Amino acid sequence: MASDFIVPEFLEDCDADTIHARMMDELPNDIDKTEGGFPWDFTRPTALIAAELLQFYIPEAIKLMFPQWSSGSFLDYLAAGSQTKRKASTYAEAVLTLTGEPGTIVPGGTVFATEAKNDQPSIEFAAVESCILNEEGKGTVLVRALLDGKQSNVNAGAIVLMSEPVEGIQTVTNKEKATGGTEEESDDDLRERILEADASEETSYIGNNADYKRWAKAVDGIGDAIVIPEWNGPETVKIVCLDQNGEGANKTLLDAVYNYIMAPDNPADRLAPPNTILTVAAPDLVNISYSFTVTVADGFELSTVISGFKKQLESYYKIVADEGAVKYIKVHALLTGTPGVEDFTDLLINGSTDNIRIENDEYPYTENVEAKGAE
């Protein structure tokens, strides 16, 4: 989140009335300076324009010069100066299970789809490679969404259609949820990575934990990463990765992280030190449900409070690996500070007030937030 901008002292007292009064003071004393007179009316527009320049345009220009307050394409320019860039959106993937006549060939590029329901359009996926049904008439094929973004992360059992039927195929389904579809990196997330890169510029050494974390988070679609050094002996490093939706990264994203850091096909581009044995894996997600009764402040909706609380949890989860637990007292503080929360009672985490232990290869995941308004 952008820091609060404090207007520099040299831009204080620059409103139109103050500027105009100074202009009138500079005129000779024998000139009529009363409001409505010709000198007053003639100089007033200049004071208004000067005030607009000093109170709006110059502060906005200053903001664009620093990552703490910049945004949009100007933030991209600052990212380039810090040897980073905004992460692009990514495409969801799923593994389809097919049944039909043995030996049936499903060519690469074959398009599958979800059903259109409740005014929601069908979402299409294309086969990444070809597939041949085995002697039992079964096969699997990896498919990738044709549209980027998280809207393609459809639930298990959602992909059941073929845009153009392939003779010999009888049923199609995805037994597990499609994952990996993420949105383009937000200004706030990019700003955080720029500041991290700038802070580590003088202290980073090739191959320390901060380096691996920064390298992993630079890959499109990756939201957070946990580094476990010497997890399987000397010179071994494990990076546990989540996507930008807070879910375990899929194989495509994990491979992208490995290839970015190790560059197996281009050794000159390798980031990791020599002899490093790198493992990149998804975490075991620890599902956590929260429940509470809340008094919602005027001007807020219960849904807004829940959304804000989930956002607070996402930020908190990034430091849980260092603490080894999702702590009740921390969650209590997060809910207290959530916009729209006037008061609350009966906060429970997985039905109790106990801390939730998180191991090195684990990561918390918000399965549900059940909140009801106080009567």
pLDDT tens, position by position, 289-319: 999 999 999 999 999 999 999 999 998 998 8
Question: By residue range, what is the domain housing residue 298?
Answer: 285-373
Position 87 in a domain: no
Position 230 in a domain: yes
* Boundary of a domain, candidates 257, 281, 305: 281
* pLDDT score of 85: 94
* Boundary of a domain, candidates 64, 80, 110: 64
Residue 204 in this model has a pLDDT that exceeds 70: no
- What sign has the CA pseudo-torsion 203, 208, 214, 215? positive
Q: Do 192 and 254 share a domain, yes or no?
A: yes
Residue 2 in this model has a pLDDT that exceeds 90: no
Read off φ and ψ for residue 53, nearest 5 degrees.
Answer: -65, -45
Q: Do 112 and 166 share a domain, yes or no?
A: yes
Nearest to 365 by CA among 307, 339, 323, 326: 326
For residue 161, what are the β-bridge partners?
113
SS3 (DSSP) at 34 = coil
Q: Do 289 and 273 share a domain, yes or no?
A: no
Largest CA-CA distance found in the chain, in angstroms, rounded: 106
Residue 1 in this model has a pLDDT that exceeds 80: no
Residue 230 in this model has a pLDDT that exceeds 70: yes
The Cα 160–Cα 257 span in angstroms is 31
Position 142 in a domain: yes
Q: Do 264 and 301 share a domain, yes or no?
A: no
- Which residue has 């970015």 as its token pair? 260
pLDDT band for 199, please (50, 70, 90 cuts): confident
Residues of the chain with pLDDT > 90, as a percent, come to 81
Q: How far is CA 20 from CA 2, 7, 10, 27, 51, in A?
A: 34, 21, 17, 11, 9
Supply the DSSP string of 50-110, one letter for each residue.
HHHIIIIIHHHHHHHTSTTT--HHHHHHHHHHTT--PPPPB--EEEEEEEESTT-EE-TT-
The Cα 159–Cα 243 span in angstroms is 22
Q: Do 191 and 167 share a domain, yes or no?
A: no
The separation between the first and the last C-alpha atoms of the chain, rounded to the nearest angstrom, is 34
Position 73 in a domain: no
Position 3 in a domain: no
**Residue-wise pLDDT tens digits, 245-300:** 988 999 999 999 999 999 999 989 999 998 999 999 999 999 999 999 999 999 99
The runs of H, that is alpha helices, within the chain are: 16-26, 38-52, 58-64, 72-81, 187-200, 209-217, 251-262, 302-323, 328-336
- Which residue has 């949009």 as its token pair? 72
Q: Do 42 and 109 share a domain, yes or no?
A: no
Position 229 in a domain: yes
The Cα 9–Cα 13 span in angstroms is 9
> Residue 120 corresponds to which tokens in the numbers above?
């929601």
* Boundary of a domain, candidates 174, 201, 236: 174
Q: Do 98 and 170 share a domain, yes or no?
A: yes
CATH number at residue 148: 2.40.30
Number of domains in the chain: 4
**Residue-wise pLDDT tens digits, 88-104:** 999 999 999 999 999 99
> Which whole number is the average pLDDT over 312-328?
90
**Residue-wise pLDDT tens digits, 139-162:** 999 999 999 999 999 999 999 999
Q: Do 109 and 32 share a domain, yes or no?
A: no
Q: Do 274 and 291 share a domain, yes or no?
A: no
Position 79 in a domain: no
CA angle 221, 222, 224 (to 5 degrees): 150
Position 76 in a domain: no
> Which whole number is the average pLDDT over 325-335?
96
Amino acid at 88: A
Q: How far is CA 192 from CA 2, 79, 147, in A?
A: 9, 10, 27
Nearest to 7 by CA among 43, 59, 42: 59
Q: Do 277 and 290 share a domain, yes or no?
A: no
For residue 105, what are the β-bridge partners?
132
Q: Do 144 and 208 share a domain, yes or no?
A: no
> Which whole number is the average pLDDT over 235-240?
95
